């Protein structure tokens, strides 16, 4: 019988330098809407965006890794200053490994936030695997953290705030933003 070793948020957060996130079902609620002209739209939660900006202001890296290709993802990433955007990767681990290596980091220094089966190969190899509240059972089963919020409803902000609070950086970063 295997036992999970309880590790404090502070211990976990002290190692994390990079957050990689899926899009559909994590940064959005998972719905993909097409209009009559075939134009795709997605809804992003504003607090996730603020959390990403705060994470980056604190000196950390954030990237997007998604199996689909979408112009709206490029637009949202640019709006948030996210330079690392990898789209169209059905097999996510090779893309994640390339991103991690490009920053001179290790998988143990990486957090990945996912919700469905294509995320498993990444979640199983990184330091902090996170599942959103409405992730599939397999993803929740490998996650070290599971958010209270569902995908598209502030789950990414929840993870970022938890990490920054564990590092005792939240008040400093939030105060800078409030000025």
Provide the residue ranges of all domains of the chain, joining segments of one domain with +: 21-178
C-alpha 13, offset from chain centre: 14
Tell whether residue 22 is among the known ligand binding residues: yes
**47-66 pLDDT tens trace:** 999 999 999 999 999 999 99
Q: What is the pTM of this model?
A: 0.94
| Model confidence pLDDT, tens digit, residues 7-52 | 799 999 999 999 999 999 999 999 988 889 988 889 999 999 999 9
- Is 27 exposed, middle or buried, given 0-12, 13-18 or 19+ CB atoms closer than 10 A? buried
Does the annotation list 24 as a binding residue?
yes
Tell me the sheet residues that pair with 45. Answer: none
Topology at the third CATH level for domain 21-178: Rossmann fold (3.40.50)
């Amino acid at each position: 019988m295997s036992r999970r070793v309880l590790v404090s948020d502070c211990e976990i957060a002290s190692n994390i330098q990079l957050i990689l996130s899926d899009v559909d079902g994590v940064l959005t609620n998972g719905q993909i809407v097409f209009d009559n002209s075939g134009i795709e739209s997605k809804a992003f939660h504003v607090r996730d965006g603020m959390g990403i900006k705060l994470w980056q202001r604190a000196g950390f890296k954030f990237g997007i890794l998604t199996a689909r290709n979408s112009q709206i993802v490029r637009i949202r990433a640019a709006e948030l200053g996210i330079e690392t955007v990898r789209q169209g990767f059905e097999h996510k681990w090779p893309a994640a490994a390339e991103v991690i290596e490009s920053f001179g980091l290790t998988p143990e220094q990486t957090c990945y936030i996912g919700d469905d089966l294509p995320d498993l190969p990444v979640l199983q190899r990184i330091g902090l695997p996170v599942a959103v509240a409405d992730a599939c059972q397999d993803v929740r089963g490998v996650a070290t953290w599971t958010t209270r919020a569902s995908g598209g409803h502030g789950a990414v902000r929840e993870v970022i705030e938890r990490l920054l609070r564990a590092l005792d950086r939240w008040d400093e970063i939030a105060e800078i933003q409030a000025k």
